[in-house]
Structure 1
Amino acid sequence: MKVLVTGASGYLGGRLCHALLRHGHSVRAFVRRTSDLSSLPTISDGVALELAYGDVTDYPSLLAACSGCHVVFHAAALVEPWLPDPSRFISVNIGGLKNVIRAYKETDTIEKIIYTSSFFALGSTDGYTADESQMHSAKFFCTEYEKSKAVADKIALEAAKEGVPIVAVYPGVIYGPGKVTAGNVVARMIVERFSGRLPGYIGYGNDKFSFSHVDDVVDGHISALDKGQQGQRYLLTGENASFMQVFDIAAAITNTKTPRFSIPLFVIEIYGWLSVLFARVTGKLPLISPPTVSCLRHQWAYSCEKAKRELNYKPRGLTEGLEEVLPWLKNLGAIKY
């Protein structure tokens, strides 16, 4: 089939394009003129990859990119925990989805939309493990990103009720080889840990996140194309663990010492505020910001049993995933051990 991938130059989007091509699909990658295309297959390799330039916030360019396509994988999103201009979350994460739905209604070839949402869209799970039935309470948001994805989630579900053939998938904290970007926060944390810039644990291990290997998430997206049902939600999550456990597993794999102390979250929050002030001066986005710390004060644990059952989703464990990530980072020269 002819497939359009929005956000194709991103961490997840690039690997999704590779996988779709391996499955025999003809892929049109929707990218901005300024995008780094290093994660995409090169057209010189003879693959059926086509580039379409534009932006999900620019409807005419998106509509043109949708022309003749049978499936849209809408993976474009701003995934930063903090931006100096929070309105960008609304225009990209909410407005982008609205434009995709509008484009579906104005074309006659699109048969299915696979929408990449986020576990944040379902809300925190302090003290329990949630499944797809959970709806965000919308009473409090840790980040503007979380708020935008929760609002977009409701838009997607309403569109499905109106007959739009949309399937929503919800990855956890995506990690794995590929790009060391904001979308690969585990790799960034490991780099900070091994460089000595993050000398201790983040907090006391009360946080909990659901970690998803990027290639498992990609496989889940492709399964959603073949098996996902209109209007259904599928959590593409994985092992639920704290960042303390991530650091301990990394230490065990590399035969290095675990951190000797924990850094209280209020200290990290102060550092986050200083990082935000520095970011406003330099324009370089911070690794840690106050919204990040707000997320760490909560738990985000989810069950992916529905995806396992209906999509044949097979997430690997955190240890297995990190056994791949750590040598990759070492080969990049990003860490030493």
Structure 2
Amino acid sequence: MKNVVLVTGASGYLGGRLCHALLSQGYCVRAFVRKTSDLSSLPPPTDGGANDGALHLAYGDVMDYPSLLEAFSGCHVVFHAAALVEPWLPDPSRFSSVNVGGLKNVLKAYKETKTIEKIIYTSSFFALGFTDGHVGDEIQMHSAKFFCTEYEKSKAIADKIALEAAAEGVPIVPVYPGVIYGPGKVTTGNIVAHMLVERFNGRLPGYVGQEKGFSFCHVDDVVQGHMAAMTKGRLGERYLLTGENASFKDVFDMAAMITQTAKPRFRIPLFLIEAYGWICVLFSRITGKLPLISPPMVHVLRHQWAYTCEKAKTELDYNPRNLREGLAEMLPWLKSLGLIRY
């Protein structure tokens, strides 16, 4: 029987596709989800005991330690992919509770569980900080002098905790995806999908952001990077699971070429986007619906977040597709859902 693998955040954009990949490789997967989670991205759970290629649900929350500890029981590998991924929340303390407190609980549960051989921790490129004027790699540490978002701050703090745990002998491998895009759930974690929907529906008529890069990575490439980190990743080593460095202007231009539609004709100044962000935040406080654009997101757009994934290519055989190839797959998917027209 193959190892029993626990996936936290299994109902999320990345976690759901990770569960599918693990099942396809014959692993017994324990999906850690909340009672209220949308399970549409997961295959139907398997009845009965543990067996190869089976999915079992474990209900709980990373902030609820007893439920997490129970889910750890009998597992051999843990993918800690659960995170609160939002550019803005009315209660910013939730970022620390979930992203920092959740990791602390995972590490505590590991110490009480004797079967865990490896923890793959999904961090974020935000944990390393912006890269204005250069291309970052795994050596980069966040300066912690300025944070664009509370999410970034929480991931930087959690990254430090993960590295300290590795130094103490915890078998943890932190991985750092870039801007994840591709088919799957249209959640906040799939920001590229949201931007394309706004673009093709006329609500985002111009380019946004500077001529500075983000590192775009297809969700399925990131999943394969996680799988490789499980089998090949060296304990305590950091791996950037990023991809092509490009701007959102590049994304919009490629999308126009792929769909044979017109490119935007102008750039929207960031001060206008920030003003719009404040209006969105105001409406969010009234309606309770989280905004797509917020002032923290504009702070992110003012910087470069470009990284190299050469280490993952060398050690994990990570092979990310280029952005044009990924968008050529993603756009017809958005069209098939009726979210965009072209």
Q: Is this a same-fold pair by TM over 0.5? A: yes
Write out aligned runs for 1:4-83 (5 A). 4-43=6-45, 47-83=53-89
Matching residue within 105, 120, 139 for 1:99: 105
Q: Aligned AA for 2:247?
A: S
Match of 1:181 in 2: 187
Matching residue within 249, 256, 261 for 2:254: 249
Q: Aligned AA for 1:266?
A: F
Residue 173 of structure 2 contacts residue 233 of structure 2 at CA under 8 Å; is this kept in 1? Answer: yes
Matching residue within 227, 239, 242 for 1:234: 239
Write out aligned runs for 1:106-117 (5 A). 106-117=112-123
Write out aligned runs for 1:1-337 (5 A). 1-43=3-45, 47-203=53-209, 205-337=210-342
Q: Aligned AA for 2:143?
A: S
Cα displacement (A) at 1:260: 1.0
Question: For structure 2, which runs of at least 5 residues remain unmatched after alignment?
Answer: none
Structure 1's 158 and 44: CA in aligned 2 closer, same or farther, altered over 3 A? closer
The count of residues paired between Structure 1 and Structure 2 equals: 336
Residue 46 of structure 2 contacts residue 56 of structure 2 at CA under 8 Å; is this kept in 1? Answer: no
Question: For structure 1, which runs of at least 5 residues remain unmatched after alignment?
Answer: none
Residue 206 of structure 1 contacts residue 297 of structure 1 at CA under 8 Å; is this kept in 2? Answer: no
Provide the secondary structure at the position in 1 that maps to 2:90: coil
2:46 and 2:338 map into 1 onto residues whose CA distance is: 28
Cα displacement (A) at 1:208: 1.3
Structure 1's 44 and 68: CA in aligned 2 closer, same or farther, altered over 3 A? closer
Provide the secondary structure at the position in 2 that maps to 1:78: coil
What is the CA RMSD across the aligned residues, in angstroms? 1.0
Provide the secondary structure at the position in 2 that maps to 1:252: helix
TM-score normalised by the chain length of structure 2: 0.97
* Runs of 4+ more than 6 Å apart: none
Q: Aligned AA for 2:90?
A: P
2:174 and 2:46 map into 1 onto residues whose CA distance is: 33
Cα displacement (A) at 1:59: 0.2
TM-score normalised by the chain length of structure 1: 0.99
Cα displacement (A) at 1:135: 0.2
Residue 46 of structure 2 contacts residue 54 of structure 2 at CA under 8 Å; is this kept in 1? Answer: no
Cα displacement (A) at 1:207: 2.9
Provide the secondary structure at the position in 2 that maps to 1:63: helix
1:44 and 1:137 map into 2 onto residues whose CA distance is: 46
1:207 and 1:82 map into 2 onto residues whose CA distance is: 22
